[in-house]
Structure 1
Amino acid sequence: MPLALAACKGSAARVFNLSGLTMGTTYNVVAIDSSKSTNEADVKSAINGALAEVNQQMSNWDPNSEISRFNAAANTAPVQVSPELAHVMKAADTVYTASEGRFDTTMGPLIELWGFGAPGKRPMPAQAEIDNALASVGHHNTISVGADALQKKQADAQVYLAAIGKGYGADRVGQALEALGITDYMVEIGGDLYASGRNPDGLPWQIGIETPASLNNGVFDVVGISGLGLASSGDYRNYFEQDGQRYSHVIDPATGQPITHRTASATVLAEDSMMADAWATAMLILGRERGLEIAAAHDVAVLFVERDTEASTLQFKSSASDAFTRLTA
């Protein structure tokens, strides 16, 4: 999870630090009003308005949201959707294809089967159950994404946007701030963020990449960014252990099983937070070796952090794609 290390000193501008709850997590916004032309109430209103609209369109927790109504329709008729939802679903479909199916918004049956969904913990699934769930996932297998419509290929298909919606929400909040004339800001939702302009010290926004250890909230690395989205995905917070085996909540759509490779986290930089969010999930599932190959083919900026299995104590090592090295040079 990225950690914002923005300083707030030495600035004559008005700096707003706002936080709250959204999408089942928290948000944090630092907005710098260099012209002192707005006030905190207007900034707060803009943030809340943007988040409310995103939730109305994409929340899987709101039964009346646009995506929830699509999920509830147990048929295969095309459904007209808002331009915003269509935009997110087209992005999801693009990353699904480029990542060899590793980013998949239809993973609900597998997530619930392994006990990481809303119903909570359940017995270890049998292979027959995994195979049955695999038949009900996959963008190209279960849904069709059009320019302004979604269509189920299987009437019981479900779309979950948690791995792309928070990033999109950060982008939308940024757009709302820019409509107020604020161009220096950092928006973070549940660890996914977008940073624009400069921090209060006139520097690129300093973002810490967390050490991927469940009992260590330290900073593994720091990157300075501006005009970019950043998101990290890790396997070290949500997992369970059974019979000496560790099972991560990160499930590979190709196998229906939790990932088992050494990659502990993947951090992605992209032109917006939405794409960083989706690609971070895909890269974590792919793992370092295949992930770096796909990153090179699609110019994805990614930093992998792996557990060093040769060390006597818990240690980590990192590998970056050329695009990540270029953007953080």
Structure 2
Amino acid sequence: MHHNFRIAITALLAVFLLSSCADRPSRVVLKGGTMGTTWSVIYSEPEQDGPGVSAEELQTLIETELLAINQTLSTYIPESEISLLNSSPDESSVLLSSRFSTVLDAALSVGGLTDGAYDVTVRPLVELWGFGARTREPVPPTEAQIQAAMVFVGAHRLSWNAEASTLSRPAGVEVDLSSIAKGYAVDQLSDMLAARGVVDSLVEIGGELRARGQRPEGGLWRLAVESPDPSQSRFIEALAVSDAAVATSGDYRNYFEYEGRRYSHLVDPRSGYPVAHELVSVTVVHRECMTADALATALLVLGLDAALQLAKSQGIAAHFVARGEEALEVHYTPAFEAYRQNTQAGESP
């Protein structure tokens, strides 16, 4: 029996876990819901020589941690730290928690790396195009509406003091960390398990994963990237990882069509328009899921040529799926090669 934890939300390409056919007693699986999706944790039960920690205790610890993260980063919770920041008086200097500061600093770093292709202030454009919290008719906004929203977009409008952990922003400029929050939460859960003696684990939230150690059955954790075109094959790439995180971003699930044109949910903060290029999905392997999560989104916005160039120059392990003239094309950086499985990607490893 295969244990496929497949979570498809808001067009993020889910990554599949392919486990061994034989479940052994040492394998423990925990599950739950968070951030509008689901989470799962698979781990090897620690040796019982020490005090140990029960599955029930871990389940409670995980749920408590996820609640705390949401209370910091969720724009859907009116009293969350990020919601209070976005409603704070204009230009006021707000002291951020260490949790918030860590995530914001990482997001701004990725934004700088990509010259603004990734931007934590893009929310007004996402809402304008109908892909945010508010529902609206799938009709493209006017150029005037786009330009009006662009006034409030751009991380350069934020005044961030990393040393003091203080942030101020002009009126109308909001921070949204939803494109990095799941990756951060994966890291936090993985670290928490390791701190409690769980050395072999796979943590997953909404398709973003982080592996530590090895599978309960032994050997590297085996993962597969779902194909954007299921009619061709179920999976498009098989991976084997240990002590690494994997995040995938895709634009092929969440979109609308208007007068024969397809509009992706992924809005380029530099232009104000949804991305319209051949790149379909990006998978990034990195030591941190938080960074992998943000980079996958950033590289997808950049488009194939610019993304490949940046990923190669920065030594990023990245895998790209693009629309070719007749079929999907796969590209990847040299750093990604180490994780590729020598198996038929269309089948289970």
TM-score > 0.5, shorter chain as reference = yes
Deviation at 1:269, TM superposition (A): 0.6
Aligned to 1:209: 225
Change (3 A) 1:213 1:132: farther
Deviation at 1:153, TM superposition (A): 3.3
The more displaced of 152-161 and 194-203 is: 152-161
Contact residue 186 and residue 204 of structure 2 kept, 8 A:
yes
SS of the residue corresponding to residue 291 of structure 2 reads helix
What is the identity percentage for the equivalent residue pairs of Structure 1 and Structure 2?
35
**CA deviation vs aligned residue, 1:134-167 (integer Å, no higher than 9, x gap):** 2211111245352342423312211111100000
Which amino acid in structure 1 is aligned with residue 121 of structure 2?
A: T
**CA deviation vs aligned residue, 1:64-104 (integer Å, no higher than 9, x gap):** 11111101113111111111110111100100000111111
The more displaced of 58-67 and 268-277 is: 58-67
Deviation at 1:214, TM superposition (A): 7.8
Confirm or deny that 1:149 pairs with 2:161.
Answer: no
Aligned to 2:89: 74
TM-score, normalisation: structure 2: 0.88
Change (3 A) 1:121 1:272: same
SS of the residue corresponding to residue 186 of structure 1 reads strand
- Structure 2: stretches of 5+ with no match in the other structure: 1-13, 342-349
Aligned to 1:325: 337
Aligned to 2:235: 219
SS of the residue corresponding to residue 34 of structure 1 reads coil
Aligned to 2:305: 289
**CA deviation vs aligned residue, 1:275-299 (integer Å, no higher than 9, x gap):** 0000000011111100011112222
Contact residue 238 and residue 340 of structure 2 kept, 8 A:
no
What are the equivalent positions in structure 2 for 1:1-329 lying under 5 Å apart? 1-7=14-20, 9=22, 11=24, 14-36=26-48, 37-122=52-137, 123-213=139-229, 218-309=234-325, 311=326, 315-328=327-340
Contact residue 42 and residue 202 of structure 2 kept, 8 A:
yes
Contact residue 73 and residue 177 of structure 2 kept, 8 A:
yes
Q: Output the CA distance in 2 between the equivalents of 1:97 and 1:148.
A: 20
Q: Give RMSD over aligned pairs.
A: 1.8
Contact residue 192 and residue 273 of structure 1 kept, 8 A:
yes
Contact residue 268 and residue 280 of structure 1 kept, 8 A:
yes
The more displaced of 30-39 and 279-288 is: 30-39
The more displaced of 190-199 and 118-127 is: 118-127
Contact residue 96 and residue 104 of structure 1 kept, 8 A:
yes
SS of the residue corresponding to residue 233 of structure 1 reads strand
- Structure 1: stretches of 5+ with no match in the other structure: none
Which amino acid in structure 1 is aligned with residue 143 of structure 2?
A: Q
Change (3 A) 1:2 1:255: same
SS of the residue corresponding to residue 120 of structure 1 reads coil
Change (3 A) 1:40 1:8: farther
The more displaced of 207-216 and 120-129 is: 207-216
Contact residue 183 and residue 290 of structure 2 kept, 8 A:
yes
How many residues matched? 324
The more displaced of 1-10 and 178-187 is: 1-10
